[in-house]
Amino acid sequence: MTTSINRPALSWLAGAAIFVQVASMLFSAPAAMAQSYPSKPIRLVCPFPAGGAVDIASRAIAQELSKNLGQPVTVDNKPGAGGNIGGTDVARSAPDGYTLFMTTSGIQAINPALYAKMPFDPNKDLVPVSALVSLNNVLVVHPSVKANSVADVIALAKAQPGAINYASSGSGTSIHMSGEMFRSLSNISMTHIPYKGSAPALNDLLGGQVMMMFDNIPSAIPHIKSGKLRALATTGAKRDPLLPDLPTVAETGVTGYESGVWFGLAVAAGTPRDIVAKLNSEAVKGTKSPDFVKRMTELGYIIMGTSPETMSDMNKAEVQRWGPIVKASGAKAD
């Protein structure tokens, strides 16, 4: 006895088989991509110029990732708009793990509250990989400024409203908002002068073109030690281990003052989870490297190396923290 199958049935079965094969290929593609990743050089976008604290951290982790991933990881500095130019570049890049972003807590939380029109949404268009390091800022003044303490700065500002100016690495950065928080809590008037990064701002501060700055400790420490800048206070909740003799701003009498920053890796939204997981694993491994730890701690960085989930929670906490502060300060950027 034989069983016959009509042509329509055969056609349907053939179509179903092709569908299953194509679906299998589609679903296995991300896994295959992750297994072969990385197969070419990787670009790490640093949204600030060379020489600043974000750039220093970017180059340090790029070196570790190059070793761990077996592919060159090169730093591409794209400064401007408080980190928004570099962030936009990465947000619009292919979500394949070959373009990384060194984001900051300022980019994630301050910029959305500060800028009237954001070119991208850092909390939707990017996904966290790992928060790598954190640090405090330090209030430094040019030696020509007649201020040997925070109280002296406040007295000068009150005696000459608007005459005191302070540099920052750009509108919306932690350096800018450290100054805005100080201005607000001290009830003084100061003039903000934004730059496209910490390095050019420091250059003008060293040259006496500007009076003071709440700089990231890693980029300011060489100039403090050389005597080219005078350090008055650090911005954390506790005294910084690298500058233990300096009081915190809060200790000097500015009640409620606390301002720090952290830097971390992110990639474009839509990047396969397996690739994010691999990047996280190798980045965390990099933060534990003896060379990385020595270099970072000597410059005043605090090592972190978190999971993507922890970095996501940190982003949310920073948004809740900085949103009201930016609004209360009245600071705005175009």
Residue-wise pLDDT tens digits, 29-79 = 555 556 799 999 999 999 999 988 899 999 999 999 999 999 999 999 999
- pLDDT score recorded for residue 174: 83
pLDDT in tens, 217-276: 988 999 999 999 999 999 998 999 899 999 999 999 999 999 889 999 999 999 999 999
**Which amino acid does the sequence have at 45?**
V
CA nearest 280: which of 132, 114, 95, 78?
132
Q: Looking up tokens 């949404």, which residue turns up?
A: 121
Q: Is 196 helix (H, G, I), strand (E, B) or coil?
A: coil
User: Do the beta carbons of residue 246 and residue 236 sit within 8 Å?
Assistant: no
Angle between helices 217-226 and 53-69 (to 10 degrees): 120
Phi-psi map region of 256: left, alpha, beta (phi>0 left; psi -120 to 50 alpha)? left
Q: Name the average pLDDT for the chain.
A: 90
Report DSSP letters for 83-100, one per residue. Answer: GHHHHHHHHTS-SSSSEE
Beta bridge partners of 140: 213, 231
Q: Is 275 helix (H, G, I), strand (E, B) or coil?
A: helix
CA nearest 130: which of 266, 38, 261?
266
What H or E segment, with its residue span, contains residue 262?
strand 260-268
3 pLDDT above the threshold of 50: no
Chain center to CA of 207: 27
Asked if the domains at 41-134+261-329 and 136-252 fall in one CATH topology, the answer is: yes
26 pLDDT above the threshold of 60: no
Residues 114 and 323: their CA atoms lie apart, in Å, by: 8
- pLDDT score recorded for residue 11: 53
Residues 246 and 234: their CA atoms lie apart, in Å, by: 7
**Which amino acid does the sequence have at 293?**
V
Chain center to CA of 12: 54
pLDDT in tens, 279-332: 999 999 999 999 999 999 998 899 999 999 999 999 999 999 888 888 877 777
- pLDDT score recorded for residue 24: 53
pLDDT band at 7 (very low <50, low <70, confident <90, very high): low
Token pair of 254, please?
């500015």
Residues 274 and 123: their CA atoms lie apart, in Å, by: 20
Q: Looking up tokens 């080219």, which residue turns up?
A: 228
1 pLDDT above the threshold of 50: no
- pLDDT score recorded for residue 2: 46
**Which amino acid does the sequence have at 206?**
L
Give backbone dihedrals phi and psi of 300, rounded to 5 degrees, phi first.
100, 5
- pLDDT score recorded for residue 139: 98
What is the number of residues in the chain?
334
Q: Is 28 helix (H, G, I), strand (E, B) or coil?
A: helix
- pLDDT score recorded for residue 219: 87
Give mean pLDDT, residues 74-103.
96
Beta bridge partners of 260: 136
What H or E segment, with its residue span, contains residue 323?
helix 308-329
Dihedral (Cα; 56, 61, 63, 67), 10-degree rounding: 170
Give mean pLDDT, residues 3-20.
50
Residues 107 and 162: their CA atoms lie apart, in Å, by: 27
**Residue 79 CB: number of other CB atoms within 10 A?**
24
Residues 248 and 138: their CA atoms lie apart, in Å, by: 9
> What percent of the chain stands above pLDDT 70?
90
Token pair of 228, please?
């080219």
Question: What contacts 333, CB < 8 A, 6 or more positions away?
Answer: 81, 82, 114, 115, 116, 171, 172
CATH superfamily for 41-134+261-329 is Bordetella uptake gene, domain 1 (3.40.190.150)
136-252 belongs to which CATH class? alpha beta
- pLDDT score recorded for residue 324: 85
Each domain of the chain, given as residue ranges in start order, spans 41-134+261-329, 136-252
